[in-house]
Amino acid sequence: MDYLENSTAKLNRAIKHLNEFIHEADAFLATSPFGIRVENYEDNGAKCIRFSYNVHQDPPKALGVIAGDCIHNLRSILDNIIWSLGKIYLSTDQKAKPDRLYFPVLKTEEEYKRKIETPELIAIKQFPQSAQDLIERLQPYNGTLPAHRISVLHALWNADKHRSPNIVGGVGGGVSQSYNLQQPASLSAGVYIQHGREFGYGALPENGIPQGAKIEVLDMHLLFEEDGPASRFVVSGLLSELIEIVRDEVIYKLAPLFYR
């Protein structure tokens, strides 16, 4: 029996979901769904100008569903591969329940040590030491990049049980402007695009607005929602990174243990 077949199939499916997301996201952004609103106003007699986002169209909900499918496949790989190891390295502990094995994601070392003694997880102690070390090393409290990303994956997966990830617009490259605003002036692209959110203002030059002056927001992306577990992450970038971590840090490193 090839215990890695299911995990490999899920990884391939996650990659397909990522590619589908990129294709659909690029098609959506090509419609110029986000624009800029320019407003003139006066401040103590000075002529000023204000810039804010104008959302013509929100990202389709289908994009969140596609991202959620990718997330689900990646997170389930972790459980699948641990469950499969339990079928090869049988626990001799009578209280063990190997059919309920899963990949733990715990915030503190104390919680991990406590959980590893429960019937659902104690079979992990029968695994080769290299597998035990890897599982523990990927716990969030270790503070490494792979451990943090596994934590984010787990949080996104839990959230997806209730609703698909909310996808919103974001800016990565800043602002290009040729208004030559006088002081006081503030100009920042920010991160999240929300309808009516101000990102720049300032006093106009004494000689007025230059001919052809324009304002451009550079490098627009689709991001996970601002208040979610993946706040400030570009969706396609994070999904790609999660695929690499699950493949390289989990599947590839545990694969030799299935062919003893």
pTM of this prediction?
A: 0.92
Residues in a beta bridge with 32: none
Mean pLDDT of 51-64: 95
What's the token pair of residue 61?
Answer: 């909900």
User: Measured between alpha carbons, how far is 68 from 156 in angstroms, rounded to an integer?
Assistant: 8
**Whole-number pLDDT of residue 17:** 98
**Whole-number pLDDT of residue 118:** 97
- pLDDT above 70 for 1: no
Backbone angles phi, psi at 257, to 5 degrees: -75, -15
| One-letter amino acid of 44 | N
**Whole-number pLDDT of residue 139:** 98
Report pLDDT digits (tens) over 143-190: 999 999 999 999 999 999 888 999 999 987 777 777 778 767 777 777
Report pLDDT digits (tens) over 92-139: 999 999 899 999 999 999 999 999 999 999 999 999 999 999 999 999
